[in-house]
């Protein structure tokens, strides 16, 4: 049988450019697909951060990554905007990218069976295939999967910008691109793709409701039969304490005690008291409302007044920068706050943490909890989206479960979950067993890639 041909279209791809989880997926799933025998290729814009020469590169064994070049649009320090807000020409930029995705297929003479689009930046591709390229035989057997990584980022633009898309005004109506008098690219993607995916089974259900659908729940409901949720994996080539050379000392499930060498060294480096009995509570996160940091804000004093150390790494909304800088001043002895993006420090925090907090208000999949598992940090999470699919409440009696959870977005419930975890932390033997257990959990991409292959085949039927 001929190989399944998949073009994975993404506005960010690890290791070339990253602002969020999409980049991790785009840098890993195609490699896992290749291992399943798929001819997987990737396409992304050539940002300033892409240092490779030439117009393509490789990831994995032989996954081609095509770069779409347009220096005026993409040779910038950031991906979507700077301190003044979103770039004003984002629609021009991603219309261009979306058109180039199709044109590049032709230039490379690559006839994909599936173009796997991701988020609003590539949401126009299914539309173009059904409109501008409808009678183009090059793509007559090409189908699309449109994966939504986060409902909150829909690609909204002023009505006046609609002509930039290059489609008839007839499609600017409630059934297609119009969304409260604005242009909504994600909506077009949902309507025109052959199937819609999102990054966890629970989130796939949640987005059909007003609470999580961000106004598109009705449109999604119309396509419910073509909506799928497949949980993301973790790339253990990148995220494994046994091979992670950014750690002070590598460790594995077998040598998990060496995790505490990392804890001691980070405590020292960050000017915290070096004491293995004090639980280290870590956070590595975008500082955005989605992440439930307001829930944390309400209880941060209660947390820091306990015998714990709190280490936070993140950037995002200024109000959280202000909040956490205040915390740093108020609790210099047991907090360590880092307002920046720092991949190396992130890895060291996962390794040093006993607890890892993810109180998200919504979480399509979430990587943090899966990375935490591998590094032996026990996650405390809100039961939503992918967090609900991956983190199960720990039970001391049965030894089952892998973390601590709360259901309602209430800070006192969050605090109760943290306190329960801290109590458990004192049960030295049980805790060591829990740490060892979670380190052995398998959230590799292999399973997810198999699910995707099944879904691609289903779409092609
Ligand atoms: P999202 O995509 O919504 O930001 P995910 O949990 O899916 O959330 O992915 C977040 C990824 O980004 C994780 O790999 C996390 O470790 C990393 N990350 C987030 N903030 C920072 C930061 N300030 N420095 C380093 N890594 C970060």
Mutate which of 151, 339, 367, 386 for ligand 1? The one with the most ligand atoms within 8 Å of its CB, which is 367
Segment 9-23, tens digit of pLDDT: 999 999 999 988 899
Phi, psi (rounded to 5 degrees) for 67: -100, 135
CB 328 within 8 A of CB 353: no
Q: What is the helix (H) or strand (E) element at residue 396, kind and residue range?
A: none
**Fold match between 5-233+445-460 and 256-439?**
yes
Q: Give the residue, out of 22, 235, 286, 313, with the most ligand 1 atoms within 8 A of its beta carbon, to mutate for a pocket test.
A: 286
What is the CA(284)–ligand 1 centre distance, in A? Answer: 6
Please tell me if the CB atom of residue 342 comes closer than 6 angstroms to any atom of ligand 1: yes
Domain ranges of the chain: 5-233+445-460, 256-439
| Residue 408 banded pLDDT, cuts 50, 70, 90 | very high
Q: Give pLDDT, residue 25.
A: 95
- The predicted structure's pLDDT at residue 77: 86
Per-residue pLDDT, 350: 98
Give the confidence band of 440 by pLDDT, cuts at 50, 70, 90.
very high
Tell me which residue has tokens 């890892």: 356
Whether 315 lines ligand 1, by a CB cut-off of 6 Å, is: yes
What is the Å distance from ligand 1's center to 52 Cα?
Answer: 24
pLDDT for the residue 21: 85
CB 287 within 8 A of CB 297: no
Judged against a pLDDT cut of 80, whether residue 177 lies above it is answered with yes
Q: Do 434 and 378 form a contact (C-beta atoms < 8 A)?
A: yes
The C-alpha atoms of residue 38 and residue 31 are separated, in whole angstroms, by 9
The dotted CATH code for 5-233+445-460 is 3.40.50.2000
How far, in Å, from the CA of 342 to the mean position of ligand 1? 10
Span 169-196, average pLDDT: 97
Gap between the Cα atoms of 336 and 270, Å rounded: 7
Residue nearest to atom 9 of ligand 1 (CA): 21
State the Cα–Cα distance between residues 184 and 189, nearest whole angstrom: 9
Mean confidence (pLDDT) of the chain: 97
Nearest atom, ligand 1, residue 239 CA: 14
Instruction: For residue 324, give Cα distances in angstroms to 164, 189, 296, 364.
Output: 41, 38, 11, 25
Ligand 1, residue 358: give the atom nearest the CA: 6
DSSP characters over 7-69 = EEE-S--TTT--SSHHHHHHHHHHHHHHHTT-EEEEEEE--TT---SSSEEEETTTEEEEEEP
Query: For 221, what's the count of Cα atoms within 13 Å in the CB-facing half-sphere?
Result: 10
pLDDT exceeds 90 at position 1: no
**Ligand 1 midpoint to CA 280 (Å):** 19
Does 289 contact ligand 1 (Cβ within 6 A)? no
DSSP of 58-94, one letter per residue? EETTTEEEEEEP-HHHH-SSSSSEETTEE-TTHHHHH
Architecture of domain 256-439: 3-Layer(aba) Sandwich (3.40)
387, 360 Cβ separation under 8 angstroms: yes
Q: Is 367 in the pocket of ligand 1 (CB under 6 A)?
A: yes
Whole-number Å distance, alpha carbon 397 to ligand 1 midpoint, is: 33
Cα–Cα distance, 280 to 332 (Å, whole number): 15
Q: How many CB atoms are located within 10 Å of the residue 429 CB?
A: 7
CA dihedral 184, 185, 191, 195 (to 10 degrees): -140
Q: CA 358 to CA 375: how far, in whole Å?
A: 15
Q: What is the pLDDT of residues 228-269, one digit of tens each?
A: 999 999 989 889 999 999 999 999 999 999 999 999 999 999
pLDDT of 282 reads: 98
Contact 29, 445 (CB under 8 A): yes
pTM of the model: 0.94
Give the pLDDT of residue 93. Answer: 98
Mean pLDDT of 128-133: 98
Q: What percent of the chain has pLDDT over 90?
A: 98
Take atom 26 of ligand 1 and give the residue whose Cα is closest: 343
- How is the beta sheet containing 178-179 ordered, strand by strand? 156-158, 182-184, 178-179
The residue whose CA is least distant from atom 19 of ligand 1 is 285
Q: Does ligand 1 have an atom closer than 6 angstroms to the CB of 68?
A: no
Query: Got the DSSP string for 308-366?
Result: -EEEEEEEE-HHHHHHHHHHHHH-TTTEEEE-S--HHHHHHHHHH-SEEEE--S--SS-
- For ligand 1, say whether the CB of 314 is within 6 Å of any of its atoms: yes
Q: What is the best residue among 21, 199, 445 to mutate for testing ligand 1's pocket, by most ligand atoms within 8 Å of CB?
A: 21
From ligand 1's centre to the CA of 374, what distance in Å?
15
């Amino acid at each position: 049988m001929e190989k399944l041909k998949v073009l994975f279209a993404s506005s960010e791809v690890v290791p070339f450019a990253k602002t969020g989880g999409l980049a991790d997926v785009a840098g890993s799933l195609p490699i896992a697909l290749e291992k399943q025998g798929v001819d997987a290729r990737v396409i992304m814009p050539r940002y300033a951060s892409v240092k490779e020469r030439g117009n393509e590169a490789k990831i994995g064994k032989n996954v081609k990554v095509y770069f779409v070049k347009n220096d005026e649009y993409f040779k910038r320090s950031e991906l979507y905007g700077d301190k003044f807000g979103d770039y004003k020409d984002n629609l021009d930029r991603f219309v261009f990218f979306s058109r180039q995705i199709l044109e590049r297929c032709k230039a490379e003479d690559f006839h994909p069976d599936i173009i796997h689009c991701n988020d609003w930046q590539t949401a126009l591709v299914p539309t173009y295939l059904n409109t501008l390229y409808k009678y183009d035989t090059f793509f007559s057997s090409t189908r699309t999967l449109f994966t939504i990584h986060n409902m909150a980022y829909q690609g909204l633009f002023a009505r006046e910008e609609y002509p930039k898309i290059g489609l008839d005004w007839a499609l600017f109506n409630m059934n297609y691109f119009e969304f409260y008098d604005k242009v909504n690219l994600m909506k077009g993607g949902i309507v025109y793709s052959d199937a819609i995916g999102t990054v966890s089974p629970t989130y796939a259900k949640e987005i059909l409701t007003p609470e999580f659908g961000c106004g598109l729940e009705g449109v999604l409901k119309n396509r419910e039969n073509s909506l799928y949720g497949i949980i993301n994996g973790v790339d253990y080539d990148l995220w494994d304490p046994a091979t992670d050379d950014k750690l002070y000392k590598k460790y594995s499930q077998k040598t998990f005690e060496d995790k505490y060498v990392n804890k001691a060294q980070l405590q020292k480096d960050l000017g915290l008291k070096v004491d293995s009995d004090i639980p280290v509570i870590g956070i590595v996160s975008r500082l955005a409302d989605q992440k439930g940091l307001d829930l944390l804000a309400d209880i941060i004093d209660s947390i820091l007044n306990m015998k714990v150390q709190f280490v936070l790494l993140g950037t995002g909304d200024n109000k959280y920068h202000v909040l956490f800088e205040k915390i740093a001043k108020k609790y210099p002895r047991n907090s360590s706050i880092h307002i920046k993006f720092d991949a190396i420090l992130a890895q060291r925090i996962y390794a040093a943490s006993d607890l890892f907090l993810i109180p998200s208000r919504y979480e399509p999949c979430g990587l943090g909890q899966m990375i935490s598992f591998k590094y032996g940090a026990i996650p405390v999470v809100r039961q939503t989206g992918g967090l609900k699919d991956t983190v199960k409440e720990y039970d001391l009696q049965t030894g089952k479960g892998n973390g601590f959870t709360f259901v309602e977005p209430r800070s006192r419930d969050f605090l109760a979950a943290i306190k329960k975890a801290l109590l458990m932390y004192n049960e030295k033997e049980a805790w060591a067993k829990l740490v060892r257990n979670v380190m052995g959990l398998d959230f590799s991409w292999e399973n997810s890639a198999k699910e995707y292959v099944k879904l691609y085949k289903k779409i092609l039927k």
